[in-house]
Chains A and B, each alone.
Chain A
């Protein structure tokens, strides 16, 4: 402190001069006229040029803080991008489902797939809707892409759906172009089968397969898939028709349950005759 006073005393004229110049400049800055505005803009320009000139010198402390901030910002942005991407995909799916809702003439209930059971024999899904939402066994499950399966069990708030890719699943189906009927079934693998189609009938690769009017469980004309392969075994009466399903069962998230009730009179009559 003493040393400081000594230095001040030694350069008292300069200290005094600088102090009074500083006070004068402060007084000048209180004015608000064109000259002061000009000086302010010149000073800003000068300081900006100076900062620009020395900006190539890296400030390591500032860089460290900036890096940390950027890293945090990067994580936040990544999270936001993921959320947006998810929202976009959900939006696309929902748009498709909305289109389906308008194309089906029966009441439908939207449901989310909350569980999946995959085994080589029986694939099922668990939905977050049950009897409280009006869901009953045998109701069809669909998406905008096509047939998913049918309800096989229900509780108050949940239900189990049997997928098309299930050995116990059967549905009456037809080739849309030639109106050839068959039974939709699955024996494992990626594709379903259209069974009981005689060798003489007109079926070609690429033909669309839809649910048939003969079905007592599904409304007619729900898309199932397209014919992927047709083979004929010697000594066999029927064609082996493989169907590539239009629904991607590995990506099921939102589905609709169609509140479809087959005509009881028809069911009763068919059961009576078949017995």
Chain B
């Protein structure tokens, strides 16, 4: 299957999961972000530029679907892709995906994404920066990090087999 078509298809499936299913896993209004894991995967597999473009495209798609704050997800996910692209190493892609390094990248990318997203999203409210950081930034990051254990274990198993 065409690489780009596969990318679009997976993104659409993740969009469905994110908007329709993951809301049932919400804890205190915080849900894990499947797209962050997906963008980190693209960054480690393909590099910084594809991850940045993918981040922007996915973010824009999400903005248009939810329609509540056009440009916010695009901005946050563009920077998420750009940040995770720094961990791209063409010789160590399987090792990165199947090890704790994947979790580290997800943590950093997710933290950048969430801080930026929630900082703008909660602007003008009575919430302070530390409240936003702890209540939304860190908890959402940890939730996403927990979910990213699944693909990491799959990639680790795949690495062991090969």
Interface residue ranges, A against B (CB under 8 Å): 12-13, 16-17, 20-21, 23-31, 33-35, 37-39
Let me know if A35 and B75 touch, CB within 8 A: no
Let me know if B123 and A39 touch, CB within 8 A: yes
7 example contacts (A-B, Cβ-Cβ < 8 A) are as follows A13-B48, A20-B74, A21-B79, A23-B74, A25-B75, A28-B120, A38-B123
Let me know if B82 and A24 touch, CB within 8 A: no
Measured CB to CB, the closest approach of chain B to A124, in angstroms, equals 83
Contact with A along B112-124 (1 / 0, CB 8 A): 0000000011011
Contact (A35, B71) CB under 8 Å given A24-B59, A27-B63? no
State which residues 114-156 of B face A: CB under 8 Å: 120-121, 123-124
Per the bound structure, the CA–CA distance linking A54 and B61 in Å amounts to 42
Could you say which residues of chain B place their CB within 8 Å of the CB of A34? 123-124
Could you say which residues of chain A place their CB within 8 Å of the CB of B56? 20, 23-24
Interface size on B, residues (CB 8 A): 23
Q: Would you call B52 an interface residue if the criterion is a C-beta within 8 Å of the partner chain's C-beta atoms?
A: yes
Measured CB to CB, the closest approach of chain A to B121, in angstroms, equals 7
Let me know if A35 and B69 touch, CB within 8 A: yes
Most central of A20, A26, A34 by chain B CB within 10 Å: A20
Measured CB to CB, the closest approach of chain B to A16, in angstroms, equals 5
Could you say which residues of chain B place their CB within 8 Å of the CB of A30? 70-71
Could you say which residues of chain A place their CB within 8 Å of the CB of B74? 20, 23-24, 27
Per the bound structure, the CA–CA distance linking A25 and B76 in Å amounts to 10
Measured CB to CB, the closest approach of chain A to B140, in angstroms, equals 18
Q: Would you call B21 an interface residue if the criterion is a C-beta within 8 Å of the partner chain's C-beta atoms?
A: no
Choose one: B49, B53, B70, B82; the contact of A28 (CB below 8 Å).
B70
Let me know if A35 and B70 touch, CB within 8 A: no
Let me know if A35 and B78 touch, CB within 8 A: no
Beta-carbon nearest neighbor of A24 in chain B = B75
Q: Would you call B72 an interface residue if the criterion is a C-beta within 8 Å of the partner chain's C-beta atoms?
A: yes
Q: Would you call B98 an interface residue if the criterion is a C-beta within 8 Å of the partner chain's C-beta atoms?
A: no
Contact (A21, B71) CB under 8 Å given A16-B53, A35-B120, A38-B124? no
Q: How many A-B residue pairs have CB under 8 A?
A: 66
Measured CB to CB, the closest approach of chain A to B7, in angstroms, equals 17
Let me know if A27 and B71 touch, CB within 8 A: yes
Could you say which residues of chain A place their CB within 8 Å of the CB of B82? 13, 17
Choose one: B52, B72, B124; the contact of A17 (CB below 8 Å).
B52
Let me know if A37 and B124 touch, CB within 8 A: yes
Let me know if A20 and B52 touch, CB within 8 A: yes
Per the bound structure, the CA–CA distance linking A35 and B74 in Å amounts to 16
Per the bound structure, the CA–CA distance linking A146 and B79 in Å amounts to 91
Most central of A17, A25, A27, A39 by chain B CB within 10 Å: A17
Q: Which 3 A-B residue pairs are closest in the complex by CB-CB distance?
A: A27-B71, A24-B75, A28-B71
Per the bound structure, the CA–CA distance linking A12 and B121 in Å amounts to 30
Q: Would you call B32 an interface residue if the criterion is a C-beta within 8 Å of the partner chain's C-beta atoms?
A: no
Per the bound structure, the CA–CA distance linking A25 and B70 in Å amounts to 10
Per the bound structure, the CA–CA distance linking A34 and B79 in Å amounts to 23
Let me know if A13 and B85 touch, CB within 8 A: yes
Per the bound structure, the CA–CA distance linking A224 and B56 in Å amounts to 97
Let me know if B121 and A16 touch, CB within 8 A: no
Contact with A along B76-100 (1 / 0, CB 8 A): 0011001001000000000000000
Let me know if A20 and B124 touch, CB within 8 A: no
Let me know if A16 and B49 touch, CB within 8 A: yes
